[in-house]
A and B are shown apart, each in its own frame.
Chain A
Amino acid sequence: MIELIGVSKTFNGRTAVDAIDLTIPKGSICVLVGTSGCGKSTTLRMINRLLPHDAGIIRIDGQEIRSFNEQKLRQQIGYAIQSTGLFPHWTVERNIGLVPRLLRWPKQKIQDRVEELMTLLDLDPAIYARQYPRQLSGGQAQRVGVARALAGNPETLLMDEPFGALDPITRDNLQNELLRIQAQVKKTIVFVTHDIDEALKLASQIVVMDQGRIVQVDHPEQLLRHPANAYVENLFGSQDRGLKLASLFPVRSLFETDTPIQANGLKAPGSGPEDCIEATDSLRLALSKMLWAGASEMPVVDANGQVLGQLTLEQILRANGK
Chain B
Amino acid sequence: MKLPSHWSASGWLVVLIMATLGMQYLERFFRWVAPGQRQVIYQRDDFLSLMLNHASLVGLASIVAITIGVGTGILVTRAWGRDFLPTVSLIASVGQTFPPVAVLALCVPLLGFGAGPVILSLILYGLLPIVRNTLAGIGDVEPAVIESARGMGMSGTQILWQVEIPLAFNVILAGIRTSVTINIATAAIGSTIGARTLGDPVIAGLINNNIAYTLQGAILIGLLAVTVDRLFEVVQSVSTRR
B163 at the interface (CB under 8 A from A): yes
Does A237 count as interface, using CB distance less than 8 angstroms? no
Interface centre among B149, B154, B155, by most chain A C-beta atoms within 10 angstroms, is B154
Answer yes or no: A75 CB below 8 A from chain B CBs: yes
Question: Considering the chains assembled together, what is the distance between the CA atoms of A83 and B166 in angstroms?
Answer: 20
Contacts of A145 in B (CB 8 A): 148
Contact B152 A148 (CB under 8 A): yes
Q: Is A81 an interface residue (CB 8 A)?
A: yes
Residue in contact with A85 in the complex, picked from B147, B166, B167, B242, CB distance below 8 Å: B147
| Chain B positions 117-160 with a Cβ under 8 Å from a chain A Cβ | 142, 144-155, 158
Distance (whole angstroms) from the CB of B106 to the closest CB of chain A: 41
Instruction: Give complex CA distance A99, B150 in Å.
Output: 11
Looking at chain B's contact residues, the main secondary structure is: helix
Interface segment out of the listed A66-74, A117-125, A276-284: A66-74
List the A residue with the shortest CB-CB distance to B155.
Answer: A71
Contact partner, B147, options A50, A72, A88, A148, Cβ 8 Å: A50
B153 & A89 in contact (Cβ 8 Å cutoff)? no
Chain B residues within an 8 Å CB radius of A82 = 144
- Nearest residue in A to B154 (C-beta to C-beta)? A102
Those of B180-235 within 8 Å (CB) of chain A: none
Interface-central residue, B151, B152, B167, by most chain A CB under 10 Å: B152
A92 in the interface (beta carbon within 8 A): no
B236 to chain A, nearest CB (A): 15
Rounded to whole angstroms, the CA-CA distance of A89 and B169 in the bound complex is: 11
Question: A163 in the interface, Cβ–Cβ < 8 Å?
Answer: no
Q: A88–B151 contact, CB under 8 A?
A: no
Q: Which residue of chain A has its CB nearest to the CB of B169?
A: A89
Partner of B150 from the list A50, A89, A148 (CB cut-off 8 Å) is A50
Cα of A81 to Cα of B152 in the assembled complex, Å: 11
Looking at the complex, which one of A50, A72, A86 makes contact with B151 (CB distance below 8 Å)? A50
- For residue A87, which residues in chain B have a CB less than 8 angstroms away from its CB? 145, 149, 163, 167
- Say yes or no for A48: interface residue by CB 8 A criterion: yes
Q: Please judge, given known A-B contacts A83-B142, A88-B167, A89-B166, whether A74 and B147 are in contact too, CB under 8 Å.
A: no
Pick from B152, B154, B158, B167: contact of A89, CB below 8 A: B167
Question: Chain B residues near A43 (CB, 8 Å)?
Answer: none
Please report the C-alpha to C-alpha distance between residue A81 and residue B144 in the assembled complex, in whole angstroms: 8
User: Given A89-B166, A89-B167, A48 and B142 touching (CB < 8 A)?
Assistant: no
Q: What residues of A have a CB within 8 angstroms of the CB of B147 in the complex?
A: 50, 81, 85
Given A87-B145, A88-B145, CB of A79 within 8 Å of CB of B167:
no
Within the complex, the shortest CB–CB distance from B139 to chain A, in Å, comes to: 15
Q: B153, A72: Cβ atoms under 8 Å?
A: yes
Contact A102 B144 (CB under 8 A): no
Q: How far is the CB of A308 from chain B (nearest CB, A)?
A: 45
Residues of A within 8 A of B144 (CB): 81-85
State in angstroms the CA–CA spacing of A87 and B166 once bound together: 10
- Size of interface on A: residues with Cβ below 8 Å to B: 24
> Contact between A71 and B153 (Cβ–Cβ < 8 Å)?
yes
> Contacts of B158 on A, CB cut-off 8 Å?
102
Asked if A301 CB lies within 8 Å of chain B CBs, one says no
Give the CA-CA distance A82 to B144 in the complex, in Å: 9
| Chain B residues, CB < 8 A from A79 | 148, 151-152
Q: Which of B151, B153, B166 contacts A81 (CB 8 A)?
A: B151
Chain B residues within an 8 Å CB radius of A84: 144, 148
> Which residue of A is nearest B151, CB measured?
A79
Residues of chain B within 8 A (CB-CB) of A76 are: 153
- A-side contacts of B153, CB under 8 Å: 71-76, 99, 102
Residue-wise interface mask of A (40-70) relative to B, using a CB-CB cutoff of 8 A (1 in contact, 0 not): 0000000010100000000000000000000
Convert B60-92 into 0s and 1s, putting 1 for each residue whose CB lies closer than 8 angstroms to a CB of A. 000000000000000000000000000000000
In the bound complex, CA of A99 to CA of B152 (Å) = 6
- Set of chain B residues within 8 Å of A148, measured between Cβ atoms: 152
Which residues on the B side are within 8 Å of A158 (C-beta)?
Answer: 151
A98 at the interface (CB under 8 A from B): yes
Residues of B within 8 A of A71 (CB): 153-155
Q: What is the CB-to-nearest-CB distance from A164 to chain B, in angstroms, rounded to a whole number?
A: 12
Kindly report which residue of chain B lies nearest to residue A102, judged by CB atoms: B153
Docked CA distance A82–B148 (Å):
10
| A/B interface sample: 27 pairs, CB < 8 A | A50-B147, A71-B154, A73-B153, A74-B150, A74-B152, A76-B153, A79-B148, A79-B151, A83-B142, A83-B144, A84-B148, A85-B142, A85-B145, A85-B146, A85-B147, A85-B148, A85-B149, A85-B151, A87-B149, A87-B163, A88-B145, A88-B167, A89-B167, A89-B242, A99-B153, A102-B154, A102-B158
Question: Given A74-B152, A85-B149, A86-B145, 5 more contacts at CB 8 Å?
Answer: A50-B151, A81-B147, A82-B144, A84-B148, A89-B242
Give me the interface of A with B, judged by CB distance under 8 Å. 48, 50, 71-76, 79, 81-89, 98-99, 102, 145, 148, 158
